[in-house]
C-alpha cells in the first residue's frame, strides 16, 4: 500500500515538475484562426517540446489582453492602425489568410454558375436589388436562367472578423455602403436576417430558397454551398480557391513599415479573389525574450505548416509575404 | 421527485414568509445561544447566506463600473428610449432589445401557462396512477435539457417547420383578419419572434407545471372528496376547489418562469436573428438583451461598444429585479387575503 502511494506521489511530482519545466507560450484572441494555431502548436510541441496555449476569446479580447500584457501574444482578425500600435507599444504581423465567399441558394443554379460584381453584391446587401431577375444580375449572367424570386439576404448576427472583412470590402468598392453602413465586426444591416456563426449563415442559406449569404471559405467548401464567381478589381471573374487567395495576398501591398496594416480586399492582381483578409498576431514591443519565442514558433509554422493549414482550408501566406514578415522580425530585433 | 422538491423549496423560500413575529423570535434566538456548536453552526449558515448578497452587490458594482462610460455618453432616458444600435458610428440604445425581451417573454408565457396548468390538472386529478409517474418524469427531463440543445433543435428542426408549415398557415388564416393581420406580415423565414417564443415557451413549461402540480397536490383530499360527494363533476372540482386553493402556487410558478424567460440566452440566440429593430410583425427577426450580449460580446472592439453592452446587462439586471419584486408583492398581497 505504501509502495503504491509512493509511486503515485512520485508520478504526480514528475508530471507537475515536468509541466513547470516545459516552456509555455500564452496567446489569446481571434476565434477564426484557432483550429490552425492549435494544429500547428500540437506539431510544434512534438518537435520542440514548447507548449502553446491559445485561447480563442475573440479579437476584441485578444487586443485587450495584449494591451494589458497578460499574454505573450494577442491575435486579431482586423489589423490595428500603426498609430494605435505605437500608442499601445505593440508589433503586428500577419499569420494566415482567410477568405470570405458569397454563397447562394437559387433553384436551378449550381456552384460557380452565378456571376456577380461588386456593385451587384453591394446593392443586394443594401436591399436595393430585391429580385434575382433584376436587370443588373441578368446583365451579368446572360446565359443563366434566373428565377423570379425575392432575394433573402443572410448576414451574421454575432460580431465577427468575417463580417469585418466583408463590410470592409463593401465599403471599399461601394461609396453608398461606406456612407450608410461602414465597416465593423457587427454593423447595422440595411436588409436581411442574421445567422449565428458561419454554421448559422450556412444553415439559413441551405434552408431558404432564393437566399444569399457570406461565409468563410472553409465553410463554403465543407458544406458544398453554391459559391458565386466575383468580378475583381482587375475586371476578371474569379473562383474562390487557394490560388486566388494567395494571388490576392501576393499582389496586395503589405507594407512592413506600416506594420502590415492592410485589409486584403479588392486586391489588384488579375487572379485575385477580392474578399479576403489576413489574421494578425500582436506582440508587446518591450518583451523581447517572449517575442523571440513566439516568432520562433511562427517561423517554424511558415516553413512547415502550409500543408496542415491547407488541410484545414486556411490559406497560408505566399512566399513573398513570408519574406517581408521575416524582414520585419529582423528589423525589430526579435529574430 | 428531487428536482420538483427543490423547485418547491425555492418557491416557498421566495414567496411564502413566516409570520413576522415568529421571525423576530427566531432571529433573537441566534444570539442567545449558549451552546458553542450551535453558535458555530448558526454563524456558518449566516456566512453562507451572506455570500449571495455579496455576489449580487459585487455584480451590480461591476456592471455599473463597466457601463459608466456608456452611461455618461448616452444618459439613462436617452439610452432606454433610443432605437439606434450602430457599432460603426458608436451610437447605442436599448429600446429595441428591451422590446424584444418583453415580446418574447410575454408570448412564451401565453404559450406555456395554459399548457402547464393543463399538464398539472391532468397529472393530479385525471390521469390514472400508471401514467402519473412517466409524465412527471418527462416534465422533469424537459427541465434538465441544457438550453443550447433547445437552441440547436430550434435552428435545425423547429425553424424549418415554422417557415414551411406553421407560419404560412397562420398567414392564410389569422393573418387575413384586420388589425391582427399586421402581426403576421412578411416572408415566413422561421427566424423570428414567434419561433423564439415557442422555444422559450417549451423551455418554461416544466417550471410552471411542476410547481402547479405540487400546489394542486396540497389541496386537502377531504375538501375534494366532499365536493365529489355532493355531486360535483371533475371540471367543477378543478374549477371551484383545486384552482382557488392553489392559485398562489400557480402564480408563483409563473413568476419563476418569467424570471427564467427574461434571462434565457442560448435557446433564443440561434433563432432570433439579433436584429436591432422594433418589429411589428411576429414573423420578423428581432433581438433581446441576452441575445445581443451573447452575439456581440466577444468581438466588441471599441470601449464604447463594450461599455454599452455592459449597460444593456445592467438594464436587464434592474428589469428582472423590478419584475420579480412586483410578482412577489402581488403574491404577498394575495397570501394575506387568502390566509385571513
Residues paired with residue A229 on neighbouring β-strands, in sequence order: A115
Q: Which residues of A touch B88 (CB under 8 A)?
A: 181-184, 187-188
As a whole number of Å, the end-to-end CA separation of chain B is 32
Between the alpha carbon of residue A330 and those of residues A152, B25, B131, B286, the distances in Å are 50, 77, 76, 50
For domain B81-338, the question of CATH label 3.40.50.300 is answered with no
Residue among B231, B5, B208 nearest B113 (CA):
B208
The chain-wide mean pLDDT, for chain B, equals: 85
Numbered residues of chain A with Cβ closer than 8 Å to any chain B Cβ: 31, 57-61, 63, 78, 150, 152, 157-161, 164, 181-189, 193-196, 200, 203-204, 207-208
* Residue A9 confidence (pLDDT): 52
Verify whether the Cβ–Cβ distance B298 to A158 is below 8 Å. yes
List pLDDT tens digits, range B303-328: 899 999 999 999 999 999 998 888 88
Instruction: For CATH 1.10.3720.10, list the domain ranges present in chain B.
Output: 81-338
Verify whether the Cβ–Cβ distance B159 to A200 is below 8 Å. no
Q: Which residues of B touch A182 (CB under 8 A)?
A: 88-89
As a whole number of Å, the end-to-end CA separation of chain A is 53
* DSSP states along B168-234: HHHHHTGGGSTTGGGGG-S---S-SHHHHHHHHHHHHHHHHHHHHHHHHHTS-HHHHHHHHHTT--H
Verify whether the Cβ–Cβ distance B274 to A203 is below 8 Å. no
Q: In chain A, where do the E strands start and end?
A: 24-29, 51-55, 73-76, 90-105, 115-116, 152-156, 193-195, 211-216, 226-227, 229-231, 237-238, 276-284
Verify whether the Cβ–Cβ distance B275 to A78 is below 8 Å. no
Quickly tell me which residue has 470570405 as its cell: A100
Nearest to B300 among A159, A181, A204 (CB): A159
B87 touches A: beta carbon within 8 Å: yes
Nearest to B189 among A185, A186, A208 (CB): A208
Verify whether the Cβ–Cβ distance A57 to B296 is below 8 Å. no
Among A99-108, B146-155, B203-212, B292-301, the least confident range: B292-301
> In order along chain A (335 residues), what is the average pLDDT of each group of 10 residues?
53 46 80 90 92 87 89 91 92 92 92 92 94 93 90 90 92 92 89 87 89 90 88 93 90 89 90 92 91 93 92 90 93 86
* Residue A171 confidence (pLDDT): 94
List pLDDT tens digits, range B14-65: 444 444 444 444 554 555 556 788 888 888 999 999 999 999 999 999 999 9
Q: Which residues of B touch A184 (CB under 8 A)?
A: 87-88, 301
**Gap from B285 CA to chain A (nearest CA, Å):** 7
pLDDT greater than 80 at residue B339: no
ipTM: 0.76
Residue A315: DSSP 8-state:
B
**Is the CB of residue B217 less than 8 Å from the CB of residue B187?**
no
Q: Which residues of A touch B288 (CB under 8 A)?
A: none
Nearest to A61 among B88, B159, B298 (CB): B298
Closest residue in A to B300 (Cα–Cα)? A60
**Is the CB of residue A39 less than 8 Å from the CB of residue A308?**
yes
B168 touches A: beta carbon within 8 Å: no
Amino acid at each position: 500500500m505504501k509502495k503504491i502511494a509512493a509511486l503515485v506521489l512520485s508520478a504526480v511530482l514528475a508530471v507537475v515538475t515536468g509541466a513547470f519545466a516545459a516552456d509555455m507560450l500564452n496567446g489569446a484572441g481571434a476565434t477564426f484562426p484557432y483550429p490552425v494555431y492549435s494544429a500547428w502548436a500540437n506539431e510544434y510541441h512534438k518537435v520542440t517540446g514548447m507548449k502553446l496555449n491559445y485561447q480563442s476569446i475573440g479579437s476584441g479580447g485578444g487586443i485587450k489582453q495584449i494591451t494589458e500584457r497578460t499574454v505573450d501574444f494577442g491575435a486579431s482578425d482586423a489589423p490595428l492602425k500603426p498609430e494605435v500600435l505605437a500608442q499601445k507599444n505593440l508589433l503586428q504581423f500577419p499569420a494566415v489568410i482567410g477568405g470570405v465567399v458569397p454563397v447562394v441558394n437559387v433553384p436551378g443554379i449550381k456552384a460557380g454558375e452565378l456571376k456577380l460584381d461588386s456593385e451587384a453584391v453591394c446593392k443586394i446587401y443594401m436591399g436595393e436589388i430585391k429580385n434575382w431577375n433584376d436587370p443588373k444580375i441578368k446583365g451579368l449572367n446572360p446565359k443563366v436562367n434566373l428565377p423570379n424570386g425575392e432575394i433573402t439576404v443572410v448576414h451574421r448576427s454575432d460580431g465577427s472578423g468575417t463580417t469585418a472583412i466583408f463590410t470592409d470590402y463593401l465599403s471599399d468598392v461601394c461609396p453608398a455602403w461606406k456612407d450608410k453602413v461602414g465597416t465593423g465586426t457587427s454593423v447595422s444591416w440595411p436588409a436581411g436576417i442574421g445567422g449565428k456563426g458561419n454554421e448559422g449563415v450556412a444553415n439559413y442559406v441551405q434552408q431558404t430558397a432564393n437566399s444569399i449569404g457570406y461565409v468563410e471559405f472553409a465553410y463554403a467548401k465543407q458544406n458544398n454551398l453554391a459559391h458565386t464567381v466575383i468580378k475583381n478589381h482587375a475586371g476578371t471573374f474569379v473562383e474562390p480557391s487557394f490560388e486566388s487567395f494567395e494571388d490576392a495576398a501576393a499582389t496586395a501591398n503589405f507594407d512592413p513599415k506600416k506594420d502590415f496594416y492592410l485589409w486584403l480586399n479588392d486586391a489588384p492582381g488579375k487572379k485575385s479573389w477580392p474578399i479576403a483578409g489576413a489574421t494578425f498576431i500582436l506582440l508587446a514591443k518591450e518583451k523581447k525574450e517572449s517575442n523571440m519565442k513566439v516568432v520562433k514558433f511562427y517561423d517554424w509554422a511558415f516553413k512547415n505548416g502550409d500543408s496542415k493549414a491547407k488541410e484545414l482550408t486556411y490559406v497560408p501566406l505566399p512566399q513573398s509575404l513570408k519574406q517581408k514578415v521575416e524582414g520585419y522580425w529582423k528589423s525589430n530585433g526579435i529574430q | 421527485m428531487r428536482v420538483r422538491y427543490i423547485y418547491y423549496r425555492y418557491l416557498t423560500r421566495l414567496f411564502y414568509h413566516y409570520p413576522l413575529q415568529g421571525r423576530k423570535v427566531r432571529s433573537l434566538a441566534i444570539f442567545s445561544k449558549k451552546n458553542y456548536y450551535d453558535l458555530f453552526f448558526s454563524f456558518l449558515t449566516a456566512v453562507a447566506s451572506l455570500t449571495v448578497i455579496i455576489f449580487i452587490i459585487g455584480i451590480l458594482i461591476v456592471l455599473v463600473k463597466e457601463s459608466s462610460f456608456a452611461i455618461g455618453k448616452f444618459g439613462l432616458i436617452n439610452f432606454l428610449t433610443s432605437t439606434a444600435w450602430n457599432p460603426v458610428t458608436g451610437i447605442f440604445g436599448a429600446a429595441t432589445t428591451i422590446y424584444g425581451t418583453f415580446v418574447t417573454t410575454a408570448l412564451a408565457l401565453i404559450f406555456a401557462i395554459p399548457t402547464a396548468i393543463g399538464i398539472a390538472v391532468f397529472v393530479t386529478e385525471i390521469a390514472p396512477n400508471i401514467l402519473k409517474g412517466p409524465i412527471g418524469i418527462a416534465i422533469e427531463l424537459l427541465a434538465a435539457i441544457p438550453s443550447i440543445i433547445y437552441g440547436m433543435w430550434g435552428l435545425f428542426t423547429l425553424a424549418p417547420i415554422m417557415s414551411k408549415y406553421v407560419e404560412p398557415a397562420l398567414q392564410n388564416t389569422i393573418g387575413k383578419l384586420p388589425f391582427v393581420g399586421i402581426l403576421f406580415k412578411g416572408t415566413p423565414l422561421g427566424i423570428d419572434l414567434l419561433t423564439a417564443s415557442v422555444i422559450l415557451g417549451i423551455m418554461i413549461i416544466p417550471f410552471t407545471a411542476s410547481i402547479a402540480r405540487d400546489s394542486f397536490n396540497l389541496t386537502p383530499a377531504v375538501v375534494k372528496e366532499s365536493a365529489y360527494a355532493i355531486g360535483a363533476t371533475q371540471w367543477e372540482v378543478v374549477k371551484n376547489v383545486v384552482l382557488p386553493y392553489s392559485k398562489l402556487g400557480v402564480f408563483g410558478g409563473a413568476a419563476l418562469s418569467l424570471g427564467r424567460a427574461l434571462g434565457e440566452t442560448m435557446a433564443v440566440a440561434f433563432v432570433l436573428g439579433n436584429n436591432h429593430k422594433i418589429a411589428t410583425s411576429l414573423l420578423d427577426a428581432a433581438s433581446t438583451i441576452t441575445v445581443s450580449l451573447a452575439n456581440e460580446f466577444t468581438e466588441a472592439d471599441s470601449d464604447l461598444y463594450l461599455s454599452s453592452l455592459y449597460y444593456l446587462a445592467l438594464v436587464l439586471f434592474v428589469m428582472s429585479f423590478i419584475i420579480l419584486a412586483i410578482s412577489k408583492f402581488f403574491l404577498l398581497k394575495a397570501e394575506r387575503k387568502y390566509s385571513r
